[in-house]
Amino acid sequence: MKRPPLAVTLGDPAGIGPELTLRAWTALKDRRHDFIAYADLDQLREIADRLHLPAPRACEPEQAGEIFSQALPVRPVPLPEPARPGHPAPANAAAVIASIEACVRDTLAGRTGGVVTNPISKAVLYEQGFRFPGHTEFVAHLTAHAAWDGPRGPMMMLAAPELKTVLVTIHLGLRGALDALSTEAILHTARVTLAALRTDFGLASPRLAIAGLNPHAGEGGALGREEIEMVAPAVETLRAEGHDVAGPMPPDTMFHAEARARYDAAVCLYHDQGLIPVKTLNFHGGVNTTLGLPIIRTSPDHGTAFDIAGRGLARADSLIAAIRLASTMAENRQSALT
Ligand SMILES: NC(=O)c1ccc[n+]([C@@H]2O[C@H](COP(=O)([O-])OP(=O)(O)OC[C@H]3O[C@@H](n4cnc5c(N)ncnc54)[C@H](O)[C@@H]3O)[C@@H](O)[C@H]2O)c1
Ligand SMILES: N[C@H](C(=O)O)[C@H](O)COP(=O)(O)O
């Protein structure tokens, strides 16, 4: 059975998102990863013209599959102000948000098969009153009332072929993140991750590694007691539930190749502990995905890259990987739940 197309959001129209969407279409138009862009038709036509590509075509999600091999399908989200690469316009913030909302709405309605988000500039949206730290929390909010039998996130996973990491705390300053950590938060993150590894990644017996917080995982308590008082109890509880869990792992030695071979995902305690290793190992192949939602959501692991927007330098690898992963996750979830 033909699956519905994925919905790709606008992202910040002054960033690299629009050109990456067209480059991803060029790379995927002959494969089976159909998608439809919820974006400004005029902007995409102008970029397509510059890249000598066929003009993108407006359509409904139901027609995207028919035209995908000939032109990029677009559900128009008009911009109030023409986009200028590298110069984000506050006036376009509402369209950026409307695009995310429409993609989530159509995915909840079954018209699209998952959401792939282009990068947004958080600072620009915050200035316009956007009250969510990022897509992760916004998409969780938009799907909060939809039925979902699994443990509910949102949890941020960064996934590359070399390494998957999942964050216990996400967009918090480091001091705030330390205050937010607890055995309960680690347990919840681990349980959502284990369920997602089974349902969305097709792993029958997932293995987790849980990071420590302090140098050398606390060195027996001499360099901090969080491992003994907070992380180890979570590891013990998960093991008692029958899960394959290692930890607390010394954060500096858990990401080398031999260590990575012993687990399927690493639970990390704060943003940079989990994102630095993935973005360093594979910046262009990394994907950000949200676990524990009623819908599939992925994103490239990079940001808006205003410094290179409109200059033809941006690589589409991470967006392409995000589209491919969303497609695979949707397929895995459908098989697991039917
Ligand atoms: N999924 C998202 O919405 C998302 C993810 C990360 C960052 N952001 C946002 O993006 C904005 C800019 O963040 P940043 O500067 O830290 O990170 P960035 O990823 O935008 O840029 C970091 C560096 O990598 C380069 N780069 C990024 N993507 C590239 C690509 N596809 N091809 C070639 N080079 C690329 C940029 O030119 C820049 O030099 C911030 O507002 C941040 O919040 C959004
Ligand atoms: N920390 C994320 C990253 O670097 O990929 C990023 O800011 C995106 O967050 P959202 O997916 O919540 O927008």
Q: Which helix (H) or strand (E) holds 247?
A: strand 244-249
Determine the distance separating the centroid of ligand 2 and the alpha carbon of 309, expressed in angstroms: 18
Number of domains within the chain: 2
Give the distance, in angstroms, between the CA of residue 233 and the centroid of all CA atoms in the same chain: 29
How far the first Cα of the chain sits from its last, in Å, is: 14
Q: How far apart are CA 148 and CA 150, in angstroms?
A: 6
pLDDT at 3 (0 to 100) = 86
* Same domain? 157 vs 234: yes
Evaluate whether ipTM surpasses 0.90.
yes
Nearest by Cα to 135 from 277, 284, 289: 289
> Do the domain assignments include residue 300?
no
- pLDDT tens sequence across 16-29: 999 999 999 999 99
In this structure, are residues 248 and 214 in contact, taking their beta carbons and an 8 Å threshold? no
Name the closest ligand to CA 275. Answer: 2
**Distance in angstroms (rounded) separating the CA atoms of residues 180 and 144:** 22
Domain match, 272 and 154 both: yes
Residue 2 has pLDDT above 90, yes or no: no
Task: Compute, in angstroms, the gap from residue 284 CA to the centroid of ligand 2.
Answer: 15
Residue 327 lies in a domain: yes
The reply to whether 302 falls in a domain is no
Q: Is 223 inside any structural domain?
A: yes
Distance 242 CA to ligand 2 centre (A): 32
Residue 13 is which amino acid? P
Q: Is the CB of 207 under 6 A from ligand 1?
A: no
Return the beta strands (E) in 126-181 as ranges.
155-160, 163-167
The atom of ligand 1 lying closest to the CA of 123 is: 41
* Predicted pLDDT of residue 253: 97
CA–centroid distance, 227 to ligand 1, in Å, is 33
Which residue minimizes the CA distance to atom 2 of ligand 2?
A: 301
Q: Are 142 and 165 contained in the same domain?
A: no
Q: Which residue has better confidence, 47 or 2?
A: 47
pLDDT of residue 75: 98
Instruction: Report the pLDDT averaged over residues 276-302.
Output: 97
- In angstroms, what is the span from residue 252 Cα to ligand 1's centroid? 25
Residue type, 154: P
Mean pLDDT throughout 298-327?
96
Residue 198 has pLDDT above 90, yes or no: yes
pLDDT of 153: 96
Q: What are 203-212's pLDDT values in tens digits? A: 999 999 999 9
Let me know whether 235 and 216 are in one domain: yes
Please give the average per-residue pLDDT across 138-142, as a whole number: 98
Is 143 in the same domain as 153? no
Q: Are residues 128 and 215 in the same domain?
A: no
Instruction: Say whether both 164 and 122 belong to one domain.
Output: no
Ligand 1 centroid distance, CA of 304 (Å): 5
Nearest residue (CA) to ligand 2, atom 8: 134
| Span 23-81, pLDDT tens digits | 999 999 987 789 999 999 999 999 999 999 999 999 999 999 999 999 999 999 999 99
Residues 122, 158, single domain; the answer is: no
Could you tell me if residue 61 is inside a domain? yes
**Ligand 1 mutation target, pool 115, 288, 304, most atoms within 8 A of CB:** 304
- Is 105 annotated to bind ligand? no
What does the pLDDT read at residue 49?
A: 96
* Residue 100 belongs to a domain: yes
Q: What is the pLDDT of residues 219-278, one digit of tens each?
A: 999 999 999 999 999 999 999 999 999 999 999 999 999 999 999 999 999 999 999 999
SS3 of residue 81 by DSSP: coil
Residues whose CB falls within 8 Å of the CB of residue 19, separated by 6 or more in sequence, listed in order: 47, 51, 309, 310, 312, 314
pLDDT of 228 reads: 97
Q: Which pLDDT band, with edges at 50, 70 and 90, does 175 fall under?
A: very high
Proximal ligand: closest to the CA of 154: 2
Q: What is the rounded distance in angstroms from the CA atom of residue 251 to the CA atom of residue 313?
A: 34
- Tokens representing 37 are 């862009």
Binding residue per annotation — 256? no
280 is in an annotated binding site: no
Instruction: Quote the domain boundaries for residue 114.
Output: 1-147+319-337
CATH of the domain at 23: 3.40.718.10
Same domain for 109 and 156, yes or no, is no
Co-location of 175 and 217 in the same domain: yes
Position 253, amino acid: T
User: Rounded to two decimals, what is the model's pTM?
Assistant: 0.96
Nearest-10 Cα torsion for 191, 193, 196, 198? -80
The answer to whether the annotation marks 216 as part of a ligand binding site is yes
pLDDT bucket at 1, cuts 50 / 70 / 90:
low
The residue whose CB lies within 8 Å of the most ligand 2 atoms, and thus the one to mutate among 137, 165, 171, 284, is 171
Residues 133 and 221 in one domain: no
Are 187 and 277 contained in the same domain?
A: yes
Q: Is the distance from CB of 122 to CB of 12 less than 8 angstroms?
A: no
Residue 279 assigned ligand-binding role: yes
